[in-house]
Structure 1
Amino acid sequence: MKLLFASSNEHKIAEIKAILPHGFQLISLKEIHFYDDIPETADTIEGNAIQKATFLAEKMHIPCFADDTGLIIPGLNGEPGVFSARYAGPQRNADDNMNLVLEKLNGQSDRSAHFSTVIALYINHKVHVFEGKIEGSIGKEKRGTNGFGYDPIFTPEGADKTFAEMSSDEKNGMSHRARALEKMMVYLKRIG
């Protein structure tokens, strides 16, 4: 089955391709030469995922899925949340975002956090939503060079290294995105 992924983020595309089981073919926006902006104006993570998947599926007439991910830090009243990608500004720079989190958490004892990924799948003129979460904590400094986004400062619960210190296989075995994707795959196999 061919599935269009509503993202131009090469890191996410590679991560999802590594997780997708045999029989599913991921089509990227680059492959269909789609370079327009995709609306992402909802005020929730779920809303953004639904908005992106619906917009693209209706435009391209092919089953499509989109994800949106947020890092939720209780000690920062849930920030960065839905604004995770642009937390430090519209430039969407991962280092700037991490630096702002570390600065705001400086001196705080509660460094708990969780990642939440919502995948919206638009297929057969309906939207289906799948969520994956992983609990963890924010370190006091960046560690590791793998991964992307907030990976160098996020250590999953029960682990002794950040996502950025893990191999792709290690991260994909437990990540929020992998958990949401697994739920979507279970659904697709059921209807397939």
Structure 2
Amino acid sequence: MTNKVIVIASQNANKIREFQEMLVPKGYEVHGAGDFEELAPVVETGQSFAENAQIKAQAVSQQLQQPVIADDSGLVVPAINGEPGIYSARYAGDHDDVANNAKLLKKLAHADDRNAYFHTTLVVMKPTGESLAVSGTLAGEILTEPRGQNGFGYDPLFFVPAKQKTLAEMSAAEKNEISHRAQALRKLADKLDQWW
């Protein structure tokens, strides 16, 4: 059995699967936070994606005494002061995609500048506190109405000019080629073995 066990500080099955697809072939044994009933909930009190990822990684790593990867991600729209930012998942209600999208469209109703970007910060941390942080960004723009049936969150509104599609119009494979999380995962994959 491998001694390279790593825990993903998330209950999100899709997110955990993305990490497994990248790390298992490299010899890591990957577990999600849901595999550990004793884990206390972590309160995200940071003011940035990096701070929240750091808080999650540190709290879970200390509790489990295992290396942990945590991420914090969201949509940033400069024209509305960077909203929804770190509050992306709970912008108009906790993980209510329809309400979140409606609030975003309302806020941008009279905006000329609809540029936006998705951002992910990943932090991997050992129980000693030694950490490694990487990030990824995907630029695009917010449409006036949703398009596409795939994806989740803000994907139906997020148009990627280079692909001439929203994220919700892309296949999972297409999205994973360019997404903010995929970019961060690739950076992490390049550095993790050496850091370990």
What is the letter of the counterpart of residue 159 of structure 2?
A: T
Q: Does residue 58 of the first structure (1) align with residue 59 of the second (2)?
A: no
Check the 8 A contact 1:11/1:147 in 2, yes or no: no
Check the 8 A contact 2:39/2:60 in 1, yes or no: no
Gaps of 5+ in 2: none
Check the 8 A contact 1:57/1:64 in 2, yes or no: yes
- Taking structure 2 as the reference length, the TM-score comes to 0.90
The alignment's C-alpha RMSD in Å is: 1.7
Gaps of 5+ in 1: none
Q: Does residue 121 of the first structure (1) align with residue 124 of the second (2)?
A: yes
2:142 aligns with 138
Distance 1:156 1:181 in 2: 20
Match of 2:30 among 26, 29, 38: 26
SS of corresponding position for 1:178: helix
1:162 aligns with 166
1:100 Cα deviation from its structure 2 partner: 0.5
Match of 1:100 among 94, 100, 103: 103
Distance 2:164 2:152 in 1: 18
2:82 aligns with 78
Check the 8 A contact 1:15/1:168 in 2, yes or no: no
1:2 aligns with 5
Higher helix proportion (structure 1 or 2): 2
Give aligned pairs, total. 191
2:188 aligns with 184
1:77 Cα deviation from its structure 2 partner: 1.3
- Taking structure 1 as the reference length, the TM-score comes to 0.91
Distance 1:95 1:18 in 2: 29
